[in-house]
Amino acid sequence: MNISNQIKENLEERRSINEEDDFGLEKSWANLTNILSISEDETINYLKNCSKEDVLLISSVFDDVSEKLQSRKFISCLRELDKKYPDLKLTFFIDDAESYIEN
């Protein structure tokens, strides 16, 4: 299964988890982080083409993915998403994710 399909499957599962199910949410986030960390290029390609709703769900793991990828290219992609969807107010999450990159 390619990364795009894995992400879609994870996000569908995430949408079905009750917001009060901390264990379920953490498990879903950890799984999503692992999927998004497999391939920087495939992740960026997915993010550039996914829906606004998917970006919002994925934003919860921006920092964890950034820590694993250690990629300025990933951060640049997130900044583009912030411009594309200003109403999502992603700047704080992106700044936080950028802080995980080691200089």
pLDDT in tens, the chain (103 residues): 789 999 999 999 999 999 999 999 999 999 999 999 999 999 999 999 999 999 999 999 999 999 999 999 999 999 999 999 999 999 999 999 999 998 7
Sign for the pseudo-dihedral over CA of 47, 15, 89, 97? negative
State residue 102's pLDDT score: 87
Tokens of 17: 């988890």
Tokens of 50: 């996914």
The CA distance from 14 to 85, in Å, is 21
State residue 74's pLDDT score: 98
State residue 77's pLDDT score: 98
Residues in the chain: 103
Please identify which residue in the block is written with the tokens 């936080």. 96
